[in-house]
A and B are shown apart, each in its own frame.
Chain A
Amino acid sequence: MELVCPAGNYPSLKAAVDNGADAVYIGFRDNTNARHFAGLNFTDQRALKALDYARNNNVRLFVAINTYAQADQWSRWQYAVDACADLQASALIAADMGVMAYACEKYPELPLHLSVQGSATNAAALALYHQQFNICRAVLPRVLSLKQVQALVKKSPVELEVFAFGSLCIMAEGRCLLSSYVTGESPNTAGACSPASAVRWEKTANGGMNTRLNGVLIDRFSANEQAGYPTLCKGRFKAQNMAHGNVHNKATHALEEPTSLNTLNLIPQLSDMGISAVKIEGRQRSPAYVAAVTRVWREALDAYKANKSDFQPEERWMAELSKLSEGSQTTLGAYSRPWQ
């Protein structure tokens, strides 16, 4: 399986390449990519430098142009696709049908991957994208169980890439508007979820912390709790008018707890069923984070390759990855579906 690693800037790209990535994915410095954060991503010049570094080390470079093209800014997406083709990147990762049509017609030689933001969770949707835009790979949304992924690999007309490690979206990607409901900006439109510009950290009198998003209270932390980033799906809220007519007086993580996805111990199953690539999330993360996660995954994939019948994730790998996880917790997410 190909190890696909994130790079939000040139030092992260170097970190990924130096620590064993097979491919690195980057985005341009605007809302054409789904990690549009201040100070992050690549100008054309930087992207060229990144490409050189990757290519000299035999690593593939993917460019994510995976937000939905806004009609009043269409030329921006066109320009991004042109720039990606000029770079002769190894693949373009896209979600928008209009963008894919443009890329496919103008640059038929440029390999096209369907982004996770394209929300394709089944064989018929994959077949449509394959038939219309000749995609050669798709990244699966993090909503399928391992069994469902396995069934899908058998029917899929294209290679499949799955998320291996990193922040966990619990909503089907490309179909979540929670962020824009509260802030006006979403991954689809602005390339941002719970954007930093809308975040407020408020110290409370008792030494704790309130976190807000565009003024809305997402969570309250006591003095001895580690305050997490106010991502909407990971806040603590009160459920009212429940099935038995009561109100939940205690605020709970009604949608999801702060946790990261970690599928290291699924490497044998994913590989056996025919998954082509595993993706590390985190273009917004530091070079040190990218280096550490890439190193562990490289070691693990190599260990599996060397001894397929007797693969056991080493404790130090898991410890290292836990340290790098949200709330120091990891989960198998939908792959295991403990809530089923």
Chain B
Amino acid sequence: MQTTLGPVLYFWPRQDVFDFYEKIARSDIDRVCLGEVTCSKRRDLNYGDWLAIARLLTDAGKKVILSTLTLLESESELSQVRKICDNHEFMVEANDMSAVKFLSSNGFEFCTGPSLNIYNAYTLKQLYKLGLKRWVLPLELSEQKLGSILEQAEELSLNDKIETEVFSYGYMPLAYSARCFTARVNDKGKDECDFICRKVPQGVPLATQEGEQLFTLNGIQTMSGHCMNILDRWQAMEKLGVHSMRLSAHSHDVLDIADGLTRSIRNGKAFVSELSAEQCNGYWEGGSGKDQIYRRP
């Protein structure tokens, strides 16, 4: 079992991003996905900056993947994605079919992120023919659903050809829109957003009128109100055939969590991580994504 750090989904100040990845370089995380995937207006780091971080992490022994924008609306965004897909140095994670198109046309192998809709092995087969090496299970699928997909993959003789990753920790990106909700709740238009999302590095929590935590606003993205945490399932995942667990950072706490998990994996021991009030176990146990279900590892 490997650990993957997903791309930072929030808009963090430039220096904070560099500081964060310097710490990641010294962490036990195996793989790191890099790049802006949420909003194309966030350009504090340019392509060259991301490459510099990618090389720093590679030198520290990490496997680095460049991750692409999720929702594309304009031709300039398409060019941004194309530039990343044309790079010869790092593997790319496609978060939209446009990236799959560019990468497959280049003859490059690629990974897919959680926003690519892969709900069955027949879809995996199509993407495998185009160069897919590793995929991330869509967030809304459970352990049981993953089991069915992998069973179907075996029937299609795909199991030893493709690696599977499961989003296992962090706030889940649930929806993407043309409009910016962080700007909206701060009474700003998207074009005059003043990059207000930089002032809320963990997004804007949204609660019901009864005070129940529901969603988190992160620019054009609506995320889960609770941080999902299924790290204690790592042994069950390994048994099922999962190759990597994805951690998504909302703060530097991800470093401690990653190092703890890696230690457990290396020692072949259960990882005890009890859910706090702000956490849920996502869709892994089935049912709704916001549930808190306790089950012994």
Contacts and interface: CB of A to CB of B under 8 A. Distances in A.
Interface in A236-284: 236-244, 248, 251-252, 254-255
A102 interface: yes
A48 interface: no
Contacts of A132: 126, 130
A175 B209 contact: no
B1 interface: no
Nearest to B289: A181
B206 interface: yes
A106 B272 CA distance: 49
B117 interface: yes
B199 interface: yes
Nearest to B180: A339
B289 A180 contact: yes
B71 A182 contact: no
Nearest to A117: B117
B72 A171 contact: no
Contacts of A113: none
B74 A148 contact: yes
B204 A239 contact: yes
Contacts of B126: 97-98, 101, 132
Given A176-B174, A217-B210, A242-B185, A184 B287 contact: yes
A176 B175 contact: yes
Interface stretch (B31-39, B186-194, B231-239, B241-249): B186-194
Interface string A297-333: 0000000000000000000000000000000000000
Contact of A71 (B78, B99, B148, B196): B148
A110 B57 CA distance: 49
Contacts of B208: 216-218, 235, 237-238
**B: contact size bracket:** 35 or more
Interface stretch (B15-23, B47-55, B214-222, B250-258): B214-222
Contacts of B120: 68-71, 74, 96, 98
A8 interface: no
B189 A69 contact: no
B288 A181 contact: yes
B264 interface: no
B58 interface: no
A144 interface: yes
B125 A101 contact: yes
A44 to B, nearest CB: 23
Interface string A114-152: 000001111111011101100000000011110010010
A121 B222 CA distance: 19
B151 interface: yes
Interface in B126-184: 126-127, 130, 138-141, 144-145, 148-149, 151-152, 172, 174-184
A216 B212 contact: yes
A83 B199 CA distance: 53
Contacts of A71: 119-121, 145, 148-149, 151-152
Most buried by B among A71, A98, A128, A218: A71
B140 A188 contact: yes
Contacts of A242: 185-186, 200, 204
Contacts of B138: 188
Contacts of B122: 69, 74, 97-99, 101-102
Contacts of A131: 101
Chain A at the B interface: SS class: mixed
A10 B75 CA distance: 42
B290 interface: yes
A175 B178 contact: no
A133 to B, nearest CB: 9
A239 B206 contact: yes
B93 interface: no
Contact of A177 (B100, B207, B209, B289): B289
A238 B121 CA distance: 41
Interface string A163-192: 000000011101111101111101011000
A251 B183 CA distance: 16
Nearest to B288: A184
Interface in A194-252: 214, 216-220, 233, 235-244, 248, 251-252
A334 interface: yes
B281 to A, nearest CB: 13
A340 interface: yes
B123 interface: yes
Given A70-B120, A241-B204, A171 B176 contact: yes
B74 A70 contact: no
B217 A174 contact: no
A217 B207 CA distance: 10
A68 B141 CA distance: 12
Interface of B: 70-75, 77-78, 81-82, 96-102, 104, 115, 117-123, 125-127, 130, 138-141, 144-145, 148-149, 151-152, 172, 174-186, 189-191, 196, 199-200, 204-212, 214-215, 217, 222, 224, 283, 286-290
Nearest first, the 10 closest Cβ-Cβ pairs linking A and B are A98-B122, A124-B98, A68-B119, A143-B178, A125-B97, A181-B289, A72-B148, A71-B148, A128-B101, A243-B199
13 contacts: A68-B117, A121-B73, A124-B99, A132-B130, A180-B140, A180-B283, A182-B290, A233-B175, A237-B214, A238-B207, A240-B204, A242-B185, A242-B200
Given A69-B123, A128-B100, A337-B178, 18 more contacts: A71-B148, A98-B119, A98-B120, A122-B96, A123-B78, A124-B97, A125-B97, A155-B75, A171-B222, A184-B286, A184-B289, A189-B140, A233-B175, A237-B214, A242-B186, A243-B199, A254-B217, A339-B189
